[in-house]
């Protein structure tokens, strides 16, 4: 018997909804089978808590008197974008402080704002007849701001490479510290708990889907940048490179640093750990089958990051079950693996989201529009500039 979003929302409102986390649902399927699980369960909650560089916040400061059209802006010495209207800005997670470098960046400004800390705003302008003021230095807090919302162009990767290093030197990358001569392998998705691996065909996740983001209720705004989806995406059982991604939006004023955290990777820079949870309705048995997927059936590829090229060599394919075991075999040698994405936090998010739905505080939103079915990942073509 198929269910609709509306029917499930009615059950949520009536307090009759049955919700399991993705891990609980998979266990149930193994115990009772897909058909029974599809009948019993209405919603499955997923979660991920990973560094997501393509994140940032739109902020509106309000006007000073006399007013200023801010065209160069710093928040705690981190440059923010000055090319919007007078007192609007966008601060990106990976923008670095001009005074503290890799230690502090846009991500830290975002977390400090969420934590209620005072942030130093400094801005300059060329001055106009309507905006005569030429400079301002003051402190702001999240409460003062008219709007402060995350708009992350690329979050919640469907899948991601595992990384290793064949060279003789340590590599400092966004995949963490990679030790020489295949000294380690790092990986970065929450596997069977990950939102888009539980809805591989994007039947229930699209534009308008209500999501949990950083502790707030937010939305899928658009396809994420570098969104890849076409008939060739799944090759040899592996969702190639990345698969789908999401552009997401959420109100910083409702967020908590329990679910969103600034990070700084040595000799790489700053980024933001974003906690994303997506509820997936068990519409029918097909959906239940997708939701039953286990780490042993989800694969990624181990890529050598020592090759400084766009297409780095793939060493082997590997299941998340193997990666999670702590050791994989690479060229006949046992190599230790380490996660970069917090599975513990991903579980916490799936659990919190489940409780919100059970309490009737979180309703499902059917996508207003599906995400595209045919998208390729185009390289940058370099053309001669005269």
Partner 1 sequence: MQLQKIKLFMYFPPEKTDKPITYRLVKDYDLMFNILQAQIQPNKKGRLMAELEGTAENIEKGLQYLKDQGVQYRIFNKNIIWHEEKCVHCGACTAVCPSRALSMDRNEWKLTFDHSKCLICELCVKACPLNAMDVNIFL
Cα angle 362, 363, 365; round to 5: 130
Closest to partner 1 by CB, 61 or 157: 157
**Is position 61 an interface residue for partner 1 (rule: CB under 8 A)?**
no
Question: 345 Cβ partners below 8 Å, 6+ apart?
Answer: 47, 49, 259, 273, 275
Q: What is the DSSP letter of 375?
A: B
Binding partner 1 by CB under 8 A: which of 159, 271, 295, 301? 271
Whose Cβ is closer to partner 1: residue 71's or residue 177's? Answer: 177
- Residue 107 φ then ψ, to 5°: -60, -40
Interaction mask 83-122, partner 1, x per CB under 8 A: ----------------------------------------
Which two tokens mark 130? Answer: 């309507």
Q: How far apart, in Å, do the first and last CA atoms of the chain sit?
A: 64
Report the C-alpha gap between 91 and 70 in whole angstroms: 14
* Among positions 45, 301, 342, 365, the unique one binding partner 1 when judged by CB under 8 A: 342
> Using the rule CB under 8 A, which residue among 159, 295, 319, 341 binds partner 1?
341
Instruction: Choose which of 132, 208, 336, 372 interacts with partner 1 (CB under 8 A).
Output: 336
Region near partner 1 per CB under 8 A, out of 23-31, 228-236, 265-273, 363-371: 265-273
Q: Which of 47, 82, 106, 176 binds partner 1 (CB under 8 A)?
A: 176
Helices 343-358 and 22-32, packing angle to 10 deg: 80
Nearer to partner 1, 82 or 269 (CB): 269
Helix/strand/coil for 308: coil
Among 266, 284, 297, 355, binds partner 1 (CB under 8 A): 266
Length of the chain: 386
Segment interacting with partner 1 (CB under 8 A) among 39-47, 79-87, 230-238, 266-274: 266-274
113 vs 57, 81, 86, 142, 178, CA distance in Å? 11, 17, 21, 5, 32
Q: Should residue 345 be labelled a site residue for partner 1 when binding is judged by CB under 8 A?
A: yes
Number of residues that bind partner 1 (CB under 8 A): 29
Residue number with CB closer to partner 1 (186 or 209): 186
Among this protein's residues, is 53 annotated catalytic? no
State how far the Cα of 319 lies from the Cα of 187, in Å rounded to an integer. Answer: 11
Q: How many whole angstroms separate alpha carbon 329 and alpha carbon 320?
A: 13
DSSP for residue 310: S
| 45 makes contact with partner 1 (CB under 8 A) | no
What is the token pair recorded at 204? 């229930």
Binding site for partner 1 (CB under 8 A): 49, 51, 176-179, 184, 186, 261-266, 271, 273, 324-326, 336, 338-345, 347
Annotated catalytic sites, by residue? Answer: 130
């Amino acid at each position: 018997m198929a269910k609709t979003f509306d029917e499930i929302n009615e059950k949520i409102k009536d307090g009759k909804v049955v919700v399991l986390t993705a891990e609980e649902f998979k266990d149930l399927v193994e115990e009772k089978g897909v058909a029974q699980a599809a009948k019993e369960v209405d919603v499955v909650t997923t979660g991920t808590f990973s560094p997501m560089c393509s994140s940032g916040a739109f902020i509106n400061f309000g006007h000073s008197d006399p007013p200023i059209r801010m065209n160069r802006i710093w928040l705690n010495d981190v440059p923010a974008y000055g090319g919007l209207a007078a007192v609007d800005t966008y601060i990106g997670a990976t923008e670095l402080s001009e005074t503290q470098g890799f230690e502090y960046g846009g991500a830290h400004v975002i977390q400090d704002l969420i934590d209620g800390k005072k942030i130093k705003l400094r801005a300059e302008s060329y001055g106009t007849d309507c905006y005569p003021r030429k400079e301002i230095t003051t402190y702001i807090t999240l409460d003062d701001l008219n709007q402060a919302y995350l708009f992350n162009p690329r979050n919640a990767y469907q899948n991601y490479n595992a990384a290793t290093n064949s060279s003789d030197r340590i590599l400092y990358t966004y995949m963490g510290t990679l030790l020489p001569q295949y000294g380690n392998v790092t990986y970065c998705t929450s596997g069977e708990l990950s939102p888009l691996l539980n809805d591989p065909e994007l039947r229930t996740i699209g534009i308008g889907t209500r999501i949990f983001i950083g502790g707030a209720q937010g939305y899928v705004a658009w396809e994420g940048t570098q969104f890849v989806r076409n008939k060739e995406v799944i090759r040899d059982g592996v969702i190639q490179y990345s698969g789908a991604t999401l552009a997401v939006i959420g109100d910083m004023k409702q967020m908590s640093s329990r679910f969103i955290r600034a990070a700084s990777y040595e000799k790489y820079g700053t980024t933001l750990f974003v906690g994303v949870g997506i509820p997936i309705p068990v519409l029918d048995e097909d959906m239940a089958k997708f939701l039953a997927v286990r780490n042993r059936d989800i694969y990624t590829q181990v890529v050598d990051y020592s090759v400084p090229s766009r297409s780095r060599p793939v060493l082997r394919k590997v299941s998340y079950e193997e990666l999670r075991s702590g050791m994989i075999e690479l060229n006949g040698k046992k190599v230790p693996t380490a996660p970069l994405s917090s599975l513990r936090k991903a579980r916490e998010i799936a659990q919190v989201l489940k409780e919100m739905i059970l309490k009737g505080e979180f309703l499902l939103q059917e996508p207003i529009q599906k995400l595209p079915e045919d998208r390729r990942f185009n390289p940058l073509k370099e053309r001669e500039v005269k």
